[in-house]
Amino acid sequence: MAAAIPASMDRPHFIGIGGAGMSGIAKILAQRGARVAGSDAKESATAAALRELGATVHIGHAADHLAADATAVVVSSAIRQDNPELAAARERGIPVVHRSDALAALMDGVRPIAVAGTHGKTTTTSMLAVSLTSLGLKPSYAIGGDLDAPGSNAEHGTGEIFVAEADESDRSFHKYAPEVAIVLNVELDHHANYASMDEIYASFETFVGRIRPGGTLVISADHPGARELTAKIEGKHDIQVVTYGESKDADVRILKINPRGLTSDVSVSLATGRILTFTVSVPGSHYAHNAVAALAAGIALGLPPHNLASALGTYTGVKRRLQLKGEAAGVQVIDSYAHHPTEMTADLEAIRGAAEDARVLVVFQPHLFSRTQELGKELGQALALADASVVLDIYPAREDPIPGITSALIVDAARAAGADVTAVDDRAAVPDAVAGMARAGDLVLTMGAGDVTDLGPAILSRLAG
């Protein structure tokens, strides 16, 4: 099933093809037989993986990278309006398609599960992709991160289920029409696009309204924002609402989470009264909650609960989600994508629970000027959970600087919360700084959504001496 190529996607050109979301869509189209091309700012393992599938990938952006016979140009919200390839497409009358529209087109004719929420989308989507694959259901999936290798963020499967990460940051998740939708949590984030919680709730309400009639919303019973959203949509749509969590009124209730080092045993009571216990092979209660959300979504599609629970135990993680990068001189280096205070707190608590008496050191790179402006104090307070931290300059991504907004806001807040924090402006100086702090038995987390991930190997090399 799901083998069709939308007519406009026969010869697509992706601007920023190496991005997590864009590369996944490009991969699925290439696997379906489309002649895929695109460009990216720099060479990467993802670009190489796409070339192996037959895609043409240019490095750098230039108007002449756009083939004469391109049928569409695919862009994300991160692409600037003055991009030369985008300008060339408009000049030549080539349709410009947003990434979310391209993904929505790929989900026509299948049974989509869309995973939404401020935090945990990539992990939960990955858990579903891995477990459904292990059950032999051959799902298609598009994820915002790689499972184990470049290009593993997406797959064209021949089964009837399509699992997709649904991004609320630019409201692109309004484009999807899932049979089952998951909402993990609802918080204020993406401050460049949302001015208030009211706007966030309105956006998620629109997403819920896109669920197919007779479909299912799986939503947290524990998270305050999710409970508020549940109240707001009550009785408005022809859907079933299934809640999950530790709350006593949850339909799929978590009875116990028993940590076992870097894994957890989770016991849940289903709406039928049946009790299941299964293993989640990543640490932290937030990952256990993600697994239960995935379980509830699979049950909503009619999958046998026991089989699905066992299959969820085959998930062993996704890149940048508490991923062990290596060990040197008795120090383990772990990579975390956390860049919002809630995510940082969850990952640090998970690592603290698994670390026992070990010290936890953090190399944190703030992500976006707008997030630092709105949440600088909370970001700093989260770092107080570490034994010591190094804070880098802000990673701007798609944003221009905001006057007066620097990492100093986070450093000052962290110190006010009692944290041991060192500001390091020069990324090249970080390995030496960490080597001066770390001792055998410590855990070092490189944390943030930017290029701080690249520092892990350099830190390990420096520690190895």
Q: How confident is the model at residue 295 (pLDDT cuts 50, 70, 90)?
A: very high
158 shares its domain with 306: yes
**How high is the pLDDT of residue 146?**
65
Kindly report the CATH number assigned to the domain that includes residue 442: 3.90.190.20
- Please identify, among 312, 337, 358, the residue that sits at the C-terminal boundary of a domain: 312
Query: Does 145 have pLDDT greater than 90?
Result: no
239 or 76: which carries more pLDDT confidence?
A: 239
Q: pLDDT at position 256, please?
A: 96
Q: Do residues 241 and 225 touch, judged by C-beta distance below 8 A?
A: no
Residue 345: pLDDT above 60?
A: yes
Q: Is residue 434 part of a domain?
A: yes
Domain assignment present for 167: yes
Structure tokens at 421: 């924090």
Amino acid letter at 8?
S
Using the predicted structure, report yes or no on whether residue 283 has a pLDDT greater than 90. Answer: no
For residue 411, the SS3 value is helix
The whole-number average pLDDT for the span 158-175 is 93
Mean per-residue pLDDT, 121-129: 92
How much is the average pLDDT of 35-39?
A: 97
Predicted pLDDT of residue 342 = 86
Question: Do 381 and 257 fall into the same domain?
Answer: no
For residues 139 and 87, state if they share a domain: no
**Which of these three, 312, 344, 367, is where a domain ends?**
312
The answer to whether residue 2 sits within a structural domain is no
Phi and psi for 316 in degrees, rounded to 5? -120, 10
The pLDDT assigned to 1 comes to 45
Give a yes or no: residue 460 inside a domain: yes
pLDDT, residue 316, reads 76
Residue 7: per-residue pLDDT: 74
| Residues 344 and 255 both lie in one domain | no
- 204 and 118 co-located in one domain: yes
Which amino acids are annotated catalytic? 121-122, 165
Cross-strand pairs, 56:
37
Annotated binding site for ATP, which residues?
A: 117-123
pLDDT of residue 152: 79
- Computed over every residue of the chain, the mean pLDDT equals 92
Question: Is 429 found in the same domain as 365?
Answer: yes
CATH code of residue 14 = 3.40.50.720
pLDDT tens digits, one per residue of 71-117: 999 999 889 999 999 999 999 999 999 999 999 999 999 999 999 99
pLDDT mean over 355-373: 92
Whether residue 86 lies inside any domain: the answer is yes
Specify the pLDDT at position 149.
Answer: 52
Report percent pLDDT > 90 for the chain.
78
pLDDT digits (tens, 9 = 90+) for 369-379: 999 999 999 99
- Residue 319 pLDDT: 65
Distances (CA, A) of 236 to 53, 172, 205, 298, 350: 44, 22, 10, 24, 37
358 and 441: one domain? yes
| pLDDT (tens digit per residue) in 384-396 | 999 999 999 999 9
Same domain, 280 and 304: yes
> Does the pLDDT value for residue 14 go beyond 70?
yes
In a domain, residue 1? The reply is no
Whether the per-residue pLDDT at 151 is higher than 70: the answer is no
Mean per-residue pLDDT for 276-299? 93
Q: Give me the pLDDT at residue 147, please.
A: 62
More confidently predicted of 97 and 259: 97
Phi, psi of 321 (to 5 degrees): -110, 85
What separation in angstroms does the CA of 244 have from each of 178, 186, 289, 308, 357? 19, 15, 8, 16, 33
Residues 257 and 289 in one domain: yes
Tell me, what's the pLDDT at 281?
85
Average pLDDT of the residues in 153-163: 94
Question: What is the mean pLDDT of the segment spanning 241-253?
Answer: 98
In angstroms, the first-to-last Cα distance of the chain is 53
Same domain? 337 vs 261:
no
Annotated binding site: 117-123
Residue with tokens 């929420």: 117
Q: What is the pLDDT of residues 48-72, one digit of tens each?
A: 999 999 999 999 999 999 999 999 9
Domains in the chain, number: 3
pLDDT digits (tens, 9 = 90+) for 187-206: 988 777 788 999 999 999 99
- Residue 232: Cβ within 10 Å count: 14
The span from the CA of 227 to the CA of 221, in Å, is 6
> Which of 76, 97, 118 is the last residue in one of the domains?
97
Strand pairing category for 263-269 and 275-280: antiparallel
Full residue range of the structural domain in which residue 75 is found:
7-97
pLDDT, one tens digit per residue, over 453-463 is 999 999 999 99
Ordered DSSP codes for 204-258? HHHHHHTSPTT-EEEEESS-HHHHHHHHHHTTTSSSEEEEEESSTT-SEEEEEEE
Does residue 2 have a pLDDT over 50?
no
- CATH number, position 152: 3.40.1190.10
In the prediction, which pLDDT does 322 show?
75
Within this chain, do residues 335 and 372 fall inside the same structural domain, yes or no?
yes
Q: Are residues 439 and 382 in the same domain?
A: yes
Least confident range from 31-35, 160-164, 322-326, 427-431: namely 322-326
131 within domain boundaries: yes
Question: Is position 372 within any domain?
Answer: yes
Nearby residues of 190 by Cβ (< 8 Å), 6 or more positions away: 168, 169, 170
CA-based max dimension of the chain: 63
